[in-house]
Chains A and B, each alone.
Chain A
């Protein structure tokens, strides 16, 4: 077979599927048929393709017996699908979709603001006194203290307060000496020293 014939056969065999699907034009069908009737190799190839095509299309649809779907029926017989899950999913999806449409800085800003609002709300909730304090007290076990215990506790508290006062005074003195009194004294002394030096100079140099 010449190279021209081989390329013709190659081209014809590329058209086999198109012919079997009915996608070729009338002119293409005519050229295809005339070549296949004259060329033994292409005729064999076409017959093989047609056999394969017919065999695939003849494969039957397989029946789905009822027993296959019994587990499905038993599962779905319990009732309707869980709508809560569906609605929760859709709500989350909607919020996510909404956030995705806004700029990045707004998303971070929105998240930060949300956290701040929650934090403030929690703080104020914790600090707000209850309307009926008696209920809160009553809900906890009450411990009974004697007067001596109270006096002893007050005494310890006063000792602690005295200690903190002394500590505060020492700290104040240290801070004052180091950062206020000492620099001030140094500054005053320096001023006097400069004044004294100027007096000495004026005596030494005399009037102009």
Chain B
């Protein structure tokens, strides 16, 4: 049993932590959520349908994240934004790279500020590349609900004024180099992510 348990941890630990980290403003809260999830897995090991273990873990993570979101203090936002920028910038100091990193940092903040289930669906589908079926099982929603909420969540992100402003600044900076629009359907979403 211990070997199977360790195997389950190894298989799902990154996905659980990522989900919590992109959902919560504080790193320690995300780590707490991850610990809670795997302790609950240990406690409920014999009751779980192990064929749907991934969906069960993400459901527990989702519920735990909601509990932590309720407990989050508003003043933690700004501190965490700076921490994310520092994490993302790294050593490269190219202006374009900085713009892009700043955009991604703002994007993460915008995702965290989304309400549930929009936030969870964007993270699960667009960041973690989970299938619609797994998302349905994790959030206990229908397939049509997942698709509708995903489109609404993307629209909400696009309506974010800070992101829009950053995008327009980037376009203005590159206006001298006019790029053709790449009209390629992005069908392989989620590729490269751990399933």
Majority secondary structure, B binding face: helix
Q: Are A68 and B17 in contact (CB under 8 A)?
A: yes
Q: How long is the Cα–Cα vector from A15 to B76 in the complex, in angstroms?
A: 37
Q: A22-B185, A22-B186 are in contact. Are A59 and B104 (CB under 8 A)?
A: yes
Q: Quick one: given A57-B189, A61-B194, A72-B42, are A52 and B158 in contact (CB under 8 Å)? A: yes
Which of B50-58, B67-75, B120-128, B134-142 lies at the interface with chain A? B120-128
Which residues between 1 and 51 of chain B lie within 8 Å of chain A, taking CB atoms?
1-2, 5, 9, 13-18, 21-22, 31, 34-35, 38-39, 42-43, 45-47
Evaluate whether A52 and B163 lie within 8 angstroms (CB atoms) in the complex, with A43-B181, A68-B34 already known. Answer: yes
Q: Is the CB of A72 within 8 A of B35?
A: yes
Q: Which size bracket describes the interface of A in this complex?
A: 35 or more
Nearest Cβ on chain A to B54's Cβ, whole angstroms = 14
Sorting the interface of chain B by its residue count into under 10, 10 to 19, 20 to 34 or 35 or more gives 35 or more
Find out whether the CB atom of A69 lies under 8 angstroms from the CB atom of B14.
no
- C-alpha gap A61/B14 in the complex (Å): 7
Q: Is the CB of A68 within 8 A of B31?
A: yes
Q: How far is the CB of A158 from chain B (nearest CB, A)?
A: 71
Selected contact of B185 from candidates A29, A36, A75, A80, CB within 8 Å: A29
B19 to chain A minimum Cβ distance, whole angstroms, is 9
Q: How far is the CA of A156 from the CA of B46 in the complex (A)?
A: 71
Query: In the complex, A20 Cα to B154 Cα: how many Å?
Result: 11
Q: Cα distance A124–B1 when bound, in Å?
A: 49
Residue positions of B touching A, CB distance < 8 A? 1-2, 5, 9, 13-18, 21-22, 31, 34-35, 38-39, 42-43, 45-47, 100, 103-104, 107-108, 111, 122, 126-129, 150-151, 154-155, 157-158, 163-164, 167, 171, 181-183, 185-187, 189-190, 193-194
Q: Show 15 residue pairs from A and B whose CB-CB distance is below 8 angstroms, ordered by the A residue.
A: A22-B187, A37-B181, A47-B171, A48-B164, A56-B122, A56-B126, A57-B189, A61-B15, A62-B22, A63-B14, A64-B18, A64-B34, A68-B31, A81-B45, A86-B47
